[in-house]
Amino acid sequence: MSGPQVKICGVKDIETALAAARAGADFLGFVFFRKSPRFIQPEKAEEIILDLKEASFEEGFALPKLVGLFVDAGEKELSEAPTLLTHFQFHGHESAERCRELGEEFAVEIIKALPVSEPDDVLKASEFEGAADIILFDAKPPPGAGRPGGHGVSFDWSAVSSYEGETPFILAGGLTPDNVADAVASQKDHSGFVGVDVSSGVEDAPGKKSPALISAFISSAKGA
């Protein structure tokens, strides 16, 4: 299956990890932010990753890239993360310099999330050229929200057309199996577009992923 890369965010159990990987997910995200309904203890994430790795050898599916999500995390929290993570995704106030330093220190690629509601918001991405490997353009959280992502709210995808940076980007925020093909089509002429990310849109309830919705989302995204 080709097409854009797909990131399934908020994995909390092996069933979800297996469903996503078998359906062709390119990235799996583990949320290490305690106030999230998708929070997972690092030790549990490590267990899932090891089981998934074993299944990938046995069944022959590709092991997705493994992403840890953090919000202004300190050194201790980052060092407790599973060692097999390939990416750190930052949703807080991490500066470009800190992204660069942490990428080198932990030998991971960096995804920097930037909240967007209007075209000017994407200009902030220029600060992260050479510091982040991927930019994740996400919807701004609703006023008063207790966490920076995973709210199932969308933004006007055309806002991203003003992005002219070199760093590839992933589109996120309110994507679902029903709208992801339109989201992908909206970016098809943008050379920086590499993928889509989803959390709420493949859940039956906050933090409860649906294997059927994950499969439908990946088919729609990659078939678009």
Residues that are catalytic: 9, 138
* Amino acid (1-letter code) at residue 215: S
Task: Tell me the closest approach of the beta carbon of residue 1 to ligand LARABZUK, in angstroms.
Answer: 20
Asked if residues 172 and 201 have their Cβ atoms less than 8 Å apart, the reply is no
Please give the structure tokens belonging to residue 21.
């990987």
Given the complex with ligand LARABZUK, which of 29 and 42 has the nearer CB atom? Answer: 29
> E strands within the chain?
5-9, 27-31, 65-70, 87-90, 109-116, 134-139, 169-171, 193-198, 203-205, 208-209
Q: Which is nearer to ligand LARABZUK, 66 or 69 (CB)?
A: 69
Closest distance between ligand LARABZUK and the C-beta of residue 190, in Å? 19
Residue among 27 and 106 whose Cβ is closer to ligand LARABZUK: 27
Residues with Cβ within 8 Å of residue 103, at least 6 apart in sequence? 88, 109, 110, 131, 133
Q: How far is the CB of 3 from ligand LARABZUK (least distance, A)?
A: 18
Q: Which residue's structure tokens are 């310099």?
A: 97
Note the residues at the interface with ligand LARABZUK (CB under 6 A). Answer: 9-10, 29, 31, 33, 36, 38, 69, 71, 91, 138, 147-152, 172-175, 197-201
The smaller minimum CB distance to ligand LARABZUK, of residues 34 and 161, is found at 34
